[in-house]
Amino acid sequence: MGNLAHGRLLRTRSECGSNTSEPFCFFTQTSAPRHGESCSPAKCSLCGSSIPGHAHPPSAMSDSSFLFPDTWWQSDGEIEEETLQLDLETKFLFTHLILVFRSPRPAAMVLERSQDHGRTWKALKYHAWSCEEVFGVAEGSSVTESGATCTSKYSGAFPCTRGEVIYRGLSPWSSVDPYGPVAQDQLMITNLRVKLLQRQQCPCLTKSSEVPVHPPDHYAIYDFIVKGSCLCNGHADQCIPARSYQPNQQGVANMVHGKCVCRHNTAGDHCERCAPLFNDRPWQAANGIMGAPHGCQKCKCNGHASSCHFSQGLWMATGRRSGGVCDQCRHNTEGRRCQSCKRGYYRDASRPKNAADSCKPCTCHPIGSVFQADGHLCDPSNGNCTCKPGVGGPQCDRCLMGYWGLHEHGCRPCDCLGDCDPYTGDCSSGSDVEILYAAADPERQSSNKSETALFRGEELFSALHHSVKCDCEEVAFGSPKHFCSAEFDYVVVVKVMSAHDKGSHVEVEFKIRKVLYQRPQMKIQRESVTLYPESWTIRGCTCPILNPGFEYIVAGHEDWNTGRLLINTKSLVKPWKPTLARKILNIRRKCYGYL
């Protein structure tokens, strides 16, 4: 709070002695005895703007009344109407005005304010020795639709010097919140203007036996005090110079500046909005009656955004609890709170959610992998890829064994008994060769190195269709005799329906499509059955590979104690093809000649 005029330029229409020095006279009477007016003799002096000690510029009205009590501004003696105007560089709160005249107070004047830097004006108060004579309204009545009333309280000619005019923006007894919209509308200004409409002579002039050589016919004002403060909506205790401020003079102390040093997570020259990352609830001015700060609330952006905006719809939808929406999420995140990874990225569980590298790019092959239901290329929670039919590898970038020709629909099954070239589909050599998939077992390593070839690591999948680096091998049987020596208990065509991780083991649900062979003591029905891959307890994955949704021809053994159908390191699993079934049956018939 302070004098808004202090240190700023006051504009007037005229200044005495601006063209040439001019003499003037005045009365020094300042008191009115109870039974009459006491008049002292008139005194005369000289006014000249270029004469040291005799200049009376507008700036004299806004200097310190304590340090410079006897300085004043004086108008040209020939002017009837005068205007005083204070132009502020930004919005301020204006609480009251005090004018201390050196000349007699005007017979009529009006106080006006602007809130748009002088484009429009509104009257605040009318003063006249007679409201009815000057403005045509009764005392206390409104002169215009603006609601400004007229008073004669401060329009008396006596005292002839140091008479005051006082205006208060709010009544001292008002209970209006000073930061509320009503008070803001009433007190906020960018410009203040006083129109001096009619001079009046000092009563001493008519009573004096000696008429002054130069009768007082000018306006003169000691002090123009505009009490107010910077406009901060209750969110600041300190203000600094606004960007548009241009100093009238250097080194002015105790000046009221216009840019607020905001608190309560607010921002702006007048703390009129929330700071960029604090828009989780709507901005509010502080409550000047209750003392509630109504600070802004921070948005929860998980460290991936530097700003957010307020959504009224979201605010209402959450029961007025949260309305912030994060802007321009960084670090490959998205979502209202930057809580999700963008499409093409997944959350690295080993990194904190607010880490800049918490979202990693998916490595899934764009042709060999299937988009997730939500449109992501990989599982956004762990980065796992879902491969198209016949495609394998952690990135779904290669054809599985028995498939070839990676294209937009996956890989095509090989039209061979064994494997084929993954790029051309050409069958591998050896028409009667069968491939057995087995988990690596040191006790049964083949002595023939040419019969053992490691799977490519990218082609190994668990029965739950997750990428797991199981150390599986493919073992080639050089002749039908080797196949027959395995003594399989059953040969069936199945469709893998689902797989369930039971912790200690995995259960794979199959639907029997066809029973090609079963041991006479067995009774396999064409219905859903459960197979138990033994390799799960050792490797944490199934060897051979069993992908849900695919059909296979399976040759395996029965657990004689439980009757369960087992898939173990001696089982045969091949993707189902009608031609493969015929070849298996032919080999089975040959087995009777070998056994």
DSSP 420-452: B-TTT-PBPS-TT-EEEEEE--GGG--S-GGGE
User: What would the two tokens of residue 563 be?
Assistant: 């009757």
**Banded pLDDT at 207 (limits 50, 70, 90):** low
What is the pLDDT at residue 358?
95
**pLDDT at residue 10 greater than cutoff 80:** yes
Q: Give the CATH number of domain 362-429; options: 2.30.110.10, 2.170.300.10, 3.40.50.1110, 3.90.1150.10.
A: 2.170.300.10
Number of helices (H), then strands (E), in the chain: 7, 35
Note whether 517 and 490 are within 8 A (CB): yes
CATH number of 2-17+58-231: 2.60.120.260
Note whether 141 and 237 are within 8 A (CB): no
**Banded pLDDT at 489 (limits 50, 70, 90):** confident
Q: Which of 469, 471, 467 shows the shortest CA–CA distance to 454?
A: 471
What is the pLDDT at residue 434?
37
What is the pLDDT at residue 346?
93
Provide the β-strand partners of residue 162.
none
**pLDDT at residue 497 greater than cutoff 80:** yes
φ/ψ (deg, to 5) at 574: -135, 145
120-129 tens-digit pLDDT: 999 999 999 9
Note whether 427 and 418 are within 8 A (CB): yes
H or E stretch at 204: helix 204-207
**Banded pLDDT at 450 (limits 50, 70, 90):** very low
Give the integer Cα–Cα distance in Å for 458 and 450.
22
Name which of 214-228, 340-354, 540-554 the model is least confident about.
Answer: 540-554
Taking phi over 0 as left and psi of -120 to 50 as alpha, with beta for the rest, 591 belongs to alpha
- Region 212-234: mean pLDDT is 88
Note whether 101 and 164 are within 8 A (CB): yes
| CATH topology match: 308-349 vs 362-429 | yes
CATH class as words, domain 432-594:
mainly beta
**pLDDT at residue 440 greater than cutoff 60:** no
Give the integer Cα–Cα distance in Å for 88 and 245.
8
Q: Which of 100, 210, 206 shows the shortest CA–CA distance to 159?
A: 100
- Region 202-227: mean pLDDT is 78
Give the integer Cα–Cα distance in Å for 283 and 294.
8
**pLDDT at residue 466 greater than cutoff 70:** no
Give the integer Cα–Cα distance in Å for 83 and 429.
109
Q: Give the CATH number of domain 308-349; options: 3.40.50.970, 2.40.30.30, 2.170.300.10, 3.40.50.150.
A: 2.170.300.10
CA 211, 217, 220, 226: dihedral to nearest 10 degrees?
140
Q: Which of 253, 260, 204, 258 shows the shortest CA–CA distance to 234?
A: 260
User: What's the Rg (C-alpha) of the chain?
Assistant: 48
Give the integer Cα–Cα distance in Å for 205 and 399.
115
- 189 compared with 458, residue with greater pLDDT: 189
**pLDDT at residue 457 greater than cutoff 70:** no
User: Which range, 248-252, 418-422, 544-548, has the best average confidence (pLDDT)?
Assistant: 418-422
pTM: 0.63
What is the pLDDT at residue 137?
92
Q: How far is CA 80 from the centre of its chain?
A: 58
Name which of 227-236, 254-263, 430-439 the model is least confident about.
Answer: 430-439
**Banded pLDDT at 132 (limits 50, 70, 90):** very high
Q: Which residues lie below 8 Å from residue 82, measured CB to CB, with a gap of 6+?
A: 12, 13, 14, 75, 195, 196, 219
Percentage with pLDDT > 90 across the chain: 45
Q: Which of 575, 295, 308, 243 shows the shortest CA–CA distance to 435?
A: 575
Note whether 282 and 299 are within 8 A (CB): no
What is the pLDDT at residue 273?
97
3-state DSSP of 282-340: CCCCCCCCCCCCCCCCCCCCCCCCCCEEECHHHHHHCCCCCCEEECCCCCCEECCCCCE
**Banded pLDDT at 431 (limits 50, 70, 90):** very low
What is the pLDDT at residue 214?
63
- 228 compared with 20, residue with greater pLDDT: 228
**pLDDT at residue 459 greater than cutoff 60:** no
Rounded to the nearest 5 degrees, what angle is found at the Cα of 114, between the Cα atoms of 108 and 120? 95
What mean pLDDT value characterizes the chain?
82
**Banded pLDDT at 479 (limits 50, 70, 90):** low
What is the pLDDT at residue 133?
93
What is the pLDDT at residue 171?
79
Provide the β-strand partners of residue 226.
97
233-275 tens-digit pLDDT: 999 999 999 988 877 666 677 899 999 999 999 999 999 999 9
Note whether 16 and 22 are within 8 A (CB): yes
User: Which range, 32-46, 238-252, 440-454, has the best average confidence (pLDDT)?
Assistant: 238-252
In the DSSP assignment, the letter for residue 78 is: T
Beta strands at 452-454 and 472-477: parallel, antiparallel or unpaired: antiparallel
499-527 tens-digit pLDDT: 776 655 667 888 888 888 888 888 887 77
The domain ranges of the chain are 2-17+58-231, 308-349, 362-429, 432-594
- 154 compared with 206, residue with greater pLDDT: 154
Percentage with pLDDT > 70 across the chain: 83
DSSP string for 442-497: GGG--S-GGGEEEPPGGG-B-TTS-B----EEEEEESSHHHHHTT--SEEEEEEEE
Taking phi over 0 as left and psi of -120 to 50 as alpha, with beta for the rest, 505 belongs to beta
- Region 174-183: mean pLDDT is 87
Q: Which of 321, 269, 286, 270 shows the shortest CA–CA distance to 300?
A: 321
Q: Which residues lie below 8 Å from residue 278, measured CB to CB, with a gap of 6+?
A: 265, 266, 296, 297, 298, 299, 308
**pLDDT at residue 217 greater than cutoff 90:** no
**Banded pLDDT at 460 (limits 50, 70, 90):** very low
284-331 tens-digit pLDDT: 999 988 889 999 999 999 999 999 999 999 999 999 999 999 999 999
Give the integer Cα–Cα distance in Å for 347 and 368.
22
CA distances, 217 to each of 46, 79, 107, 117 (Å): 14, 8, 13, 32
Alpha helices in 81-203 (DSSP H): 131-135, 181-187
Note whether 449 and 459 are within 8 A (CB): no
Name which of 210-224, 424-438, 480-494 the model is least confident about.
Answer: 424-438
In the DSSP assignment, the letter for residue 503 is: S
